[in-house]
Amino acid sequence: MTCGDPAARGRGPFDADSPFLTGYRVVHHEPVLDGVTGPVRAVLDRCLAKDPDDRPQPGQLAQELADALPEPPAGEPQTLTPWTSSAPSGTPPRAAGETATDRRPRPRTARTLMAVSGALAAALAGCLLFVPGDGHGDGTARVNSTPAARWSALPTGWEPWETTAYAVAEHGVKPGYEGDRAPTCLPHGDALYCAGTALLPERIDASTGRTLWRSGITPASLPADRYITTVLGIHEGVVLVELTITNEDGTGRSQSVLALDAAHGRELWSHPVRTDSLGSAYAAGLTLTQEGDGSTVTVRSALRGTVRRQIPLPTGYDCAPLAVGDRPYVECAAGAENSHATKLLVVDPTGTSERTLTSPRSSGAWPASRTAGSSSWRRTTGP
């Protein structure tokens, strides 16, 4: 039986660069069965169906395999029914000197295949999921003494773990409110920094899964469903967080950007942001926010919160700070109806100057690269 191209590449139907992405693809993606064709492909498609009701039962699988697998060519040794150590009652004894190869093979029927359909299915899956050995002309496979791992080994002292963003924290606000939305986490160094709807910012030890701290940056009397937190970035031991507090009807009540000590979650500085702003951003050791009357974007030092610069915004444009890679920008889209004019304010990483680029097309054109003061553009969205 030939496994096809996936086996030659050592790739499985849901392979990814990490076991976590592989698990996500198993749940959400269709299997990649490139190189597997014919009736066997149809059998595998059914076996890998997301809905258990769409997968074949053992009897069905046996019959489908019996139909899918070709008859052996003339002269090839026939497959025998597997012999077990404890033969069922009524099994005729072997004659003296008779061996398993002397016995007349049974016809390959669905009943026979039912007994081995699990093994055949496992063999098919094995062809797709594992890297085969080097082939030899005699049909055998070379087994490496040290087979390559599909993923890199965990660092020393690390073990697999599973936790929840609402686990009890060792410091700060210990119990977590079980919100109804998945948190977002930003990896940095040996930790994950998580935030979200009804979730206070927290640090999770990436090697053990322990919640090291949860920062109490909201009033203790505030219901959990009235705040949203977002981790903007981490810079030299400082975690930058955006905090939005809402009224009972869901409208914005207040908004601020805070800096937390990454080691303990203590608040270092905080500044208010306009509740009608289009968000805040972090890049290159700077925070970009809309404060005051909204006519400028304030550039602050991520470490100390001190103002580096206030950038005037163009009149008639709706502007939002953003980060592309580790570069700070401000995107401004024309507020006039049916206008797609876009301006991009490029902020110097020192936070002391900026320059304006005008998009050569409609909104959704972004600078893809910058060399010697020039920019090339790529298209992402829009007509």
Would you state the pLDDT for residue 45?
86
Would you state the pLDDT for residue 188?
94
Would you state the pLDDT for residue 365?
52
pLDDT digits over 207-222, tens only?
Answer: 889 999 999 999 888 8
Mean pLDDT for 68-86 is 58
Would you state the pLDDT for residue 44?
85
pLDDT digits over 289-316, tens only?
Answer: 999 898 999 999 999 999 999 999 999 9
Kindly tell me if the per-residue pLDDT of 86 is higher than 50: no
Domain spans, the chain: 1-70+108-138
Would you state the pLDDT for residue 151?
58
Kindly tell me if the per-residue pLDDT of 97 is higher than 50: no
* Closest listed residue to residue 358, CA positions, set 332, 325, 319: 332
What confidence tier does 18 reach under pLDDT thresholds 50, 70, 90?
low
Would you state the pLDDT for residue 367?
53
What confidence tier does 194 reach under pLDDT thresholds 50, 70, 90?
very high
Would you state the pLDDT for residue 106?
40
Which of 86-100, 145-159, 170-184 comes out lowest in average pLDDT?
A: 86-100
| Residue of 46 and 213 predicted with greater confidence | 213
Kindly tell me if the per-residue pLDDT of 351 is higher than 60: yes
Kindly tell me if the per-residue pLDDT of 203 is higher than 70: yes
pLDDT digits over 319-344, tens only?
Answer: 999 998 889 999 998 888 887 788 88
What confidence tier does 20 reach under pLDDT thresholds 50, 70, 90?
low
